[in-house]
């Protein structure tokens, strides 16, 4: 879309953070609280934030409800939030409205009501189909709840269904992961997300690790599971389009998340939500009370802003680009960063390609499955060369 200032923007994404969970999972470091009595105040504040947010000069083609657990909200509340944003901002007709669903919070009636409210893509956080792993992760639901949510979503009429899994739990074997993947794929989801369990500081699972109550998988076992997830999903026809994400076709890739990986503009609403309108990134207060107080004082709840200058853009373009199968596109990189990727990193990209960590074609450089396994280490090698730029 061509704006009045002459800048040309791609379509944008709108993100809404719902900061409530029924109980905190042991591995989670996302912002959420378990005091559900604050939901009405939050919804009132969110609607005010929507009204006080300046509509950017772009049309949105995605609306994403993330959290927290968006599905703790009633479908009627989701419907009224959808209506408020559709009235406030400009959207494309083919908008993707996604929502993360916790299997412990829905039944077929609620799923039908969410579809009626406008949600047309859901990702169901099954995480595992093994009860012992669900208990270790501290999930509120059973494997049977996940199966019933997935079947309920189909019965409700959802076509675009994703299933999220977590793997690499202590003691998980290849057979255990295959069992989970086979179960997930048996429902023919359009999308799969498979996240390696990480031990983030401050989480309960990290405390358990430090106390010696659990023993994380060794590096080579974790690496074997990462490769297995990539190979298994490929053998079942899924496109591995981002380190942790797989889709049955281009049409079912997460349109919203793809914006984060490609510098498209996005607005985030709700506590802790981030926004990016080139060249500024800003984010909201991370605590619900601070967020609500700011809005009650008629102030936008922005906590901080940063300018994404050339150096930050360069770092992010490499870091994010190499997470995706699309990789770093040379023309786009040069346009965004004012630097020739192939000239600046000539030796490094050839070395990585020759050793099977990457594929190199005339227009792009992308990591292979083996390269994605070492994504952080590979990215560091690019970053070490940046001071010379
Ligand atoms: S349900 Fe999701 S957001 Fe909530 S605590 Fe668990 S992982 Fe975190």
| Whole-number Å distance between alpha carbons of 117 and 110 | 10
For residue 42, being part of any structural domain is answered with yes
Q: Which of 14-18, 24-28, 256-260 is the least confident region? A: 256-260
The whole-number pLDDT of residue 163 equals: 98
Helix, strand, or coil (residue 326): coil
> Looking at the structure, do residues 253 and 340 belong to the same domain, yes or no?
no
Residue 6 has pLDDT above 50, yes or no: no
For residue 241, being part of any structural domain is answered with yes
> Looking at the structure, do residues 332 and 221 belong to the same domain, yes or no?
no
> Looking at the structure, do residues 233 and 320 belong to the same domain, yes or no?
no
Residue nearest to atom 8 of ligand 1 (CA): 28
pTM: 0.94
Mean predicted confidence (pLDDT) in 106-119: 98
The whole-number pLDDT of residue 96 equals: 97
For residue 251, being part of any structural domain is answered with yes
CA of 67 relative to ligand 1 center, distance in Å: 7
> Looking at the structure, do residues 125 and 188 belong to the same domain, yes or no?
yes
Mean predicted confidence (pLDDT) in 136-140: 98
The whole-number pLDDT of residue 3 equals: 36
Using pLDDT thresholds of 50, 70 and 90, give the confidence band for residue 31: confident
The whole-number pLDDT of residue 4 equals: 33
The whole-number pLDDT of residue 204 equals: 97
Please identify, among 245, 260, 275, the residue that sits at the C-terminal boundary of a domain.
Answer: 260
The whole-number pLDDT of residue 389 equals: 56
The whole-number pLDDT of residue 7 equals: 38
> Looking at the structure, do residues 319 and 219 belong to the same domain, yes or no?
no
The whole-number pLDDT of residue 388 equals: 57
The whole-number pLDDT of residue 8 equals: 56
For residue 114, being part of any structural domain is answered with yes
For residue 373, being part of any structural domain is answered with yes
> Looking at the structure, do residues 181 and 254 belong to the same domain, yes or no?
yes
CA of 115 relative to ligand 1 center, distance in Å: 22
For the stretch 236-263, pLDDT in tens is 999 999 999 999 999 999 999 999 888 8
For residue 278, being part of any structural domain is answered with no
The whole-number pLDDT of residue 271 equals: 97
CATH code where residue 106 lies: 3.30.750.200
Mean predicted confidence (pLDDT) in 184-203: 97
Mean predicted confidence (pLDDT) in 15-19: 97
CA of 127 relative to ligand 1 center, distance in Å: 11
> Looking at the structure, do residues 327 and 209 belong to the same domain, yes or no?
no
| Whole-number Å distance between alpha carbons of 50 and 366 | 38
CA of 37 relative to ligand 1 center, distance in Å: 18
CATH code where residue 321 lies: 1.10.10.920
For the stretch 272-328, pLDDT in tens is 999 999 899 999 999 999 999 999 999 999 999 999 998 899 999 999 999 999 999
Handedness of CA 154, 96, 249, 273 (dihedral sign): negative
Q: Is residue 28 lining ligand 1, measured as CB closer than 6 Å?
A: yes
For the stretch 205-214, pLDDT in tens is 999 999 999 9
For the stretch 327-375, pLDDT in tens is 999 999 999 888 999 999 999 999 999 999 999 999 999 999 999 999 9
**Residue 215 · residue 40 · CB < 8 Å:** no
Number of domains within the chain = 2
Mean predicted confidence (pLDDT) in 38-52: 98
For residue 344, being part of any structural domain is answered with yes
The whole-number pLDDT of residue 387 equals: 62
The residues near 144 (Cβ < 8 Å, ≥ 6 apart) are none
Please identify, among 260, 294, 325, the residue that sits at the C-terminal boundary of a domain.
Answer: 260
Q: Is residue 70 lining ligand 1, measured as CB closer than 6 Å?
A: no
Q: What's the domain range around 318?
A: 310-388
CA of 26 relative to ligand 1 center, distance in Å: 9
Mean pLDDT of the chain: 94
> Looking at the structure, do residues 234 and 342 belong to the same domain, yes or no?
no
Among 19, 22, 23, 24, which residue has the most ligand 1 atoms within 8 Å of its CB, making it the best to mutate?
24
Residue found under tokens 């042991």? 26
Residue 5 has pLDDT above 50, yes or no: no
β-sheet with 266-269: strand ranges across: 239-242, 245-247, 191-196, 160-167, 121-127, 91-101, 60-67, 12-18, 266-269, 274-277, 280-284, 302-307
The whole-number pLDDT of residue 9 equals: 56
The whole-number pLDDT of residue 263 equals: 86
The whole-number pLDDT of residue 249 equals: 98
Residue 30 has pLDDT above 90, yes or no: no
| Whole-number Å distance between alpha carbons of 195 and 118 | 28
SS3 for 106-162 is CCHHHHHHHHHCCCCEEEEEEECCCHHHHHHHCCCCCHHHHHHHHHHHHHHCCCEEE
Of the candidates 292, 297, 270, the one whose C-alpha atom is nearest the C-alpha of residue 20 is: 270
For residue 272, being part of any structural domain is answered with no
The whole-number pLDDT of residue 385 equals: 82
| Whole-number Å distance between alpha carbons of 63 and 56 | 15
Using pLDDT thresholds of 50, 70 and 90, give the confidence band for residue 227: very high
Mean predicted confidence (pLDDT) in 175-197: 98
> Looking at the structure, do residues 209 and 320 belong to the same domain, yes or no?
no
> Looking at the structure, do residues 210 and 346 belong to the same domain, yes or no?
no
> Looking at the structure, do residues 251 and 332 belong to the same domain, yes or no?
no
> Looking at the structure, do residues 122 and 201 belong to the same domain, yes or no?
yes
């Amino acid at each position: 879309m061509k704006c009045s200032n002459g800048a040309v923007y791609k379509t944008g994404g709108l993100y809404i953070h719902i900061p409530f969970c029924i109980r905190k999972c042991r591995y989670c470091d996302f912002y959420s609280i378990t005091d559900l009595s604050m939901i009405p105040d939050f919804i009132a504040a969110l609607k005010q934030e929507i009204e006080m947010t300046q509509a950017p000069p772009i049309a949105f083609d995605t609306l994403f409800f993330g959290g927290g657990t968006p599905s703790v909200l009633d479908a009627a509340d989701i419907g009224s939030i959808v209506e408020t944003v559709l009235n406030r901002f400009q959207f494309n007709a083919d908008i993707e409205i996604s929502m993360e669903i916790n299997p412990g919070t829905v039944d077929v009636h609620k799923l039908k009501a969410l579809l009626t409210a406008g949600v047309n893509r859901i990702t169901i956080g099954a995480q595992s189909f093994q009860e012992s792993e669900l208990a270790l992760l501290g999930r509120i639901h059973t494997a049977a709840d996940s199966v019933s949510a997935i079947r309920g979503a189909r019965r409700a009429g959802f076509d675009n269904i994703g299933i999220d899994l977590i793997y690499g739990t202590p003691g998980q074997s290849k057979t255990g992961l295959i069992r989970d993947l086979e179960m997930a794929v048996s429902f023919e989801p359009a999308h799969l997300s498979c996240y390696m369990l990480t031990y983030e500081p401050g989480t309960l699972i990290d405390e358990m690790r430090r106390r010696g109550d659990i023993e994380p998988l060794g590096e080579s076992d974790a690496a074997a599971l990462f490769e297995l997830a990539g190979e298994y999903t490929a053998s079942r026809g899924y496109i591995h389009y981002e380190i942790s994400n797989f889709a049955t076709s281009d049409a079912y890739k997460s349109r919203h998340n793809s914006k984060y990986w490609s510098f498209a503009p996005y607005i985030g609403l709700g506590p802790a939500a981030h926004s990016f309108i080139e060249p500024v990134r800003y984010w909201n207060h991370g605590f619900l009370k601070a967020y609500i107080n700011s809005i009650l004082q008629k102030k936008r709840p922005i906590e901080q802003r940063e300018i994404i200058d050339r150096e930050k853009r360069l770092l992010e373009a490499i870091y994010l680009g190499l997470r995706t199968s699309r990789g770093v596109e040379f023309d786009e990189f040069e346009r965004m960063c004012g630097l020739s990727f192939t000239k600046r990193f000539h030796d490094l990209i050839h070395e990585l390609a020759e050793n099977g960590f990457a594929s190199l074609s005339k227009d792009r450089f992308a990591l292979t499955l083996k390269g994605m396994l070492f994504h952080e280490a590979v990215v560091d090698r690019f970053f070490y060369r940046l001071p010379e730029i």
